[in-house]
Amino acid sequence: ILQQHVIMKAIWNGHTIAESNNTREVEGNSYFPPGSVRMDYLKESPKRSLCPWKGTASYYHLEVDGQINKDAAWVYHQPSRAAEKIKDHIAFRKEVQVNNE
C-alpha cells in the first residue's frame, strides 16, 4: 500500500535517518525510497538473510555520533517479482523510531 501525503521519518540517536511521503508498507515495516535515506549514516554490513517470498536482504549498520546500531537497516536489491515494489527501498529495525509527523 502506497502511503502518500503522510511524512514518515526514521529517527535514531536523535538524528533523522530517513524522511519520505512515499514509503511502502510490507509486513509492518516502512520501506523508504533510496533518495530519502541519509546514506552517510549507513555502513554496509556483511550480513545477508533470505526471505522465502522477498528474496535476499542486505544489511547496513547505522553509525551516528560514534554510536553503532548493528544490522539496523536492510534492503532488497534484487527482490523476487512479488516484492518488486520495495526494490532498493530501505527499512529499519524496531530500535529505530519510525513514525509519521
What is the rounded CA–CA span in Å between residue 90 and residue 85?
12
What's the whole-number mean pLDDT along residues 61-83? 97
What is the rounded CA–CA span in Å between residue 40 and residue 97?
18
What is the rounded CA–CA span in Å between residue 50 and residue 28?
18
What pLDDT was estimated at residue 13? Answer: 95
Mean of per-residue pLDDT scores for the chain: 94
Q: Report residue 46 as a C-alpha cell.
A: 556483511
Going by pLDDT thresholds of 50, 70 and 90, the confidence category of residue 4 is low
Put residue 71 in one of left, alpha, beta given phi > 0 → left and psi -120 to 50 → alpha. Answer: left
What's the whole-number mean pLDDT along residues 10-17? 97
pTM for this predicted structure: 0.92
